[in-house]
Structure 1
Amino acid sequence: MRPLRYSINVTLDGCCHHEAGLPPDEESMRYWTAEMERADALLFGRVTYQMMESAWRRPPSGTWPDWMDEWEVPFAEAIDATRKYVVSSTLGEVDWNAELVRGDVGQAVRRLKEEPGEGLFVGGVTLPLALADLGLVDEFVFVVQPVVAGHGPTLLAGLRERIRLDLVDRQEFRSGAVALRYRPAEAPA
């Protein structure tokens, strides 16, 4: 069974808006590229899918845009090539190497997890909350930014039950950001 990993940037006060943290730098993009390479597929809700597609889809010309630094290209290439599943009741169709997921999201994700592979990654805010509530997230990867946003959506706001986590890895960046990898704690025997 392949694990489902929830990966996101978050500020010290829990804000997970994509513009609230530090701008990406070479080191953080290398980290996220390596994480992307651990994913057989990405699982997005509509909003995250559309946001990521607008930023990271290879243009029809085949040439990456001028705004993209050379050190961002490996991440762009990795995410562009990765299989995507999009949970949406409003989109009629998707492309960008993507497939729509409709109906019972819990059942659909359980089926995806049963497929062989290295792992599924979920990003965003709303969909990961639903999956965490269902107990389907096997790993939480938070890159904690040394910023206090003071506003915006917060990480897993509205979670029905507390999830106890065990720290399994930690990586510090020169920027002061810290990547923390957690797995749900085993229930006491």
Structure 2
Amino acid sequence: MRPLRYAINVTLDGCVHHEAGLPPDEDSMRFWTAELERADALIFGRVTYGMMESAWRRPATGAWPEWMDETQLPFAEAIDHAKKHVVSSTLTEVDWNAELLTGDLQQEVERLKREPGEGLFVGGVTLPLALADLGLIDEYVFVVQPVLAGHGPTLLAGLRERVELELVERREFGSGVMAVRFRPRT
């Protein structure tokens, strides 16, 4: 069964708003690109899908926007080409190499996990909470930003039951950012 990995940036006080941390540097962009490349497919909720598409979908012109620097291009290429699954009860169609998942969340994700491959990647806030509550997340990857945001959505707020984790990897970047990887204790 392929593992489902939840990965997100988080501040020291638990904020997961996409603008709360440090601007991405070369180390973190390399890390995020490698995480995407480890996945056979990405799973997003409607909001995260829309946010990622607006930032990382290659424009119709074929040229990446001028704001994107060379450290961001490999990430942009990886996410643009990745297979995506979008969980939504309100969308009627998706594109950007995506498939809409509208059935029972647990059944749909278990079906995806049973398919052959190296793994699945989920990002966002609301969908990962539902997946954690269902016990479907096999790995948690937190890129911890040395920032106190003081406000904003927090990591897995509202989780129904405690999930005990074991640390399996820790990486420190020159910016003070730390990537930590955990797996649920069995």
Q: TM-score range by the shorter chain?
A: over 0.9
**Whole-angstrom distance in 2 between the partners of 1:62 and 1:3:** 33
- Please report the TM-score for the alignment, with normalisation by the length of structure 2: 0.99
The residue number in structure 1 matching 2:60 is 60
**Whole-angstrom distance in 2 between the partners of 1:160 and 1:115:** 28
**Structure 1 residue 33: deviation in Å?**
0.5
**Whole-angstrom distance in 1 between the partners of 2:69 and 2:168:** 32
**Whole-angstrom distance in 1 between the partners of 2:70 and 2:174:** 20
Deviations 1:109-137 (A, max 9, x none): 00000001010000000000000000000
**Structure 1 residue 141: deviation in Å?**
0.1
**Whole-angstrom distance in 1 between the partners of 2:89 and 2:141:** 27
**Whole-angstrom distance in 2 between the partners of 1:68 and 1:173:** 21
For residues 4-83 of structure 1, what are the structure 2 equivalents within 5 Å? Answer: 4-83=4-83
1:105 alignment partner AA = L
Helix, strand or coil for the counterpart of 2:71? Answer: helix
**Whole-angstrom distance in 1 between the partners of 2:106 and 2:10:** 25
- Please report the TM-score for the alignment, with normalisation by the length of structure 1: 0.98
The residue number in structure 1 matching 2:92 is 92
1:14 alignment partner AA = G
Two-structure CA RMSD over aligned residues (Å):
0.4
Helix, strand or coil for the counterpart of 2:76? Answer: helix
**Whole-angstrom distance in 2 between the partners of 1:95 and 1:67:** 24
5+ long unaligned stretches in structure 1: none
Please identify runs of 4+ aligned residues in structure 1 that moved more than 6 A.
none
> What count of residue pairs does the alignment treat as equivalent?
186
**Structure 1 residue 71: deviation in Å?**
1.1
**Structure 1 residue 70: deviation in Å?**
1.0
1:97 alignment partner AA = N
